[in-house]
Amino acid sequence: MMRFEDVKLAVIGLGYVGLPLAVEFGKKRPVLGFDINKRRIEELKQGRDHTLEVEPEELAAAVHLRYCSEAESLAEANVYIVTVPTPIDEYKQPDLSPLKRASETIGRVLKRGDIVVYESTVYPGATEEVCVPVLESVSGLRFNEDFYAGYSPERINPGDKKHRVTTIRKVTAGSTPEAADLIDQIYADIIVAGTHKAPSIRVAEAAKVIENTQRDVNIALINELALIFNKLGIDTQAVLEAAGTKWNFLPFRPGLVGGHCIGVDPYYLTHKAQSIGYHPEIILAGRRLNDAMGGYVVSQLIKAMTKRCIQVQGSRVLVMGLTFKENCPDLRNTRVVDIVRELAEYNIHVDVYDPWVDTEEAMQEYGIRPIDAPKEGAYDGIVLAVAHQQFAELGAQKIRALGKPEHVLYDLKYVLSADEADLRL
């Protein structure tokens, strides 16, 4: 096993997860940041990060970090940290192709004594059952004899400037006790919040996947309560505020559940569960309920418009916000698209406005071209879908001014007070 002082790091994948990690390591030791996207590499070399996760001054502070898109350059490293996406496909099944491709890339340069650490969210067993065989096949080396593996789940929260990679406790694991010790030491060098060494890679994988599954199920419960309270004519936010006065009531709120974690990770766990003959009930029920919320929002909006004698077909609706959460440009798995597409089914003209979004990225990912600015007095319906700071600063009066004299304002994210909106989730 190599010594800590001999570690030469490479981070594979410089997105929301990989870049902040590479930057922190790059402040203390030589690190090679690798990404197959050449435009991304050029952007970072110029000191810019379009995800806004890392400020220019932080990039500049990572004086030991180099960027490259040439896989051959990875040969100079001996510890590889993989931070590529792990999405789901159209059938809601795990898509491990980015992980496999990254493993193939590393396998071509893997040497005796090297360590490969995965941070991407997977189901328990994936590292050793899927990734390691690829490494062995491509490199010709033997696992736990010639090279070693580890797992340290990412806990990045896009747009969160308080909980950063160094201030969130890091779970680590290795394929042998010696590898586990070294991997833990490597991360402990930058993680000021400390580390937790799990007893095995499978335990660390399982811990990651249930973190977001737990949140998903809890939000599903609150979403179901919101459906019930809406039928009863009770304000859900008022109920949650009242219940929240008890010390152990969990502060979840209803809403759309998207993003790269909460709306995706549960499917990795259910996939593995079904592969061993167990059909998960609660997890899948929560997923179905959360995935249906976009349709529910549109049905409520249509009912409210109809009650006000607003012609639905051919009407204009403004959707404010497209990202999966507030105050960040992240469009991954945003469920706002469900609202946009459902509205289009009614032959409604939809304008999407989001000052955080890159127009070309929105077009490429979803075929949606956000408008530069909404028009005053133009809309029959307004949906406040994301709680961006800019929208909160506008206030109810200016948002109302975007609507026609008779319109419906649906505040999905409790940006406004109860008496300022026509509908709330």
Residues marked as catalytic: 261
Q: Which residues pair with 65 in a beta bridge?
A: 31
Question: Is the Cα torsion angle 12, 15, 16, 19 positive or negative in sign?
Answer: positive
Do 123 and 99 touch, CB atoms closer than 8 A?
no
Structure tokens at 217: 């199920």
- Type of residue found at 348: I
Give DSSP secondary structure letters for 146-162: TBEEEE------TT-SS
**Torsion, CA 368, CA 369, CA 373, CA 379, rounded to 10:** -50
Q: What is the CA radius of gyration of the chain?
A: 23
Distance (Å, whole) CA 266 – CA 215: 10
Do 52 and 328 touch, CB atoms closer than 8 A?
yes
Distance (Å, whole) CA 44 – CA 248: 44
DSSP state letter for 380 = E
Distance (Å, whole) CA 411 – CA 425: 7
101-106 LR contacts (CB < 8 Å, sep 24+): 102/12, 102/13, 103/131, 103/134, 103/135, 103/138, 104/134, 104/138, 105/12, 105/71, 105/74, 106/12, 106/74, 106/80, 106/82, 106/135
Angle at 207 between CA 206 and CA 208, to 5 degrees: 90
Give DSSP secondary structure letters for 89-146: -TTS-B--HHHHHHHHHHHTT--TT-EEEE-S---TTHIIIIIHHHHHHHH---BTTT
Do 5 and 186 touch, CB atoms closer than 8 A?
no
216 Cα distance to chain centroid = 13
**Torsion, CA 2, CA 23, CA 166, CA 25, rounded to 10:** 20
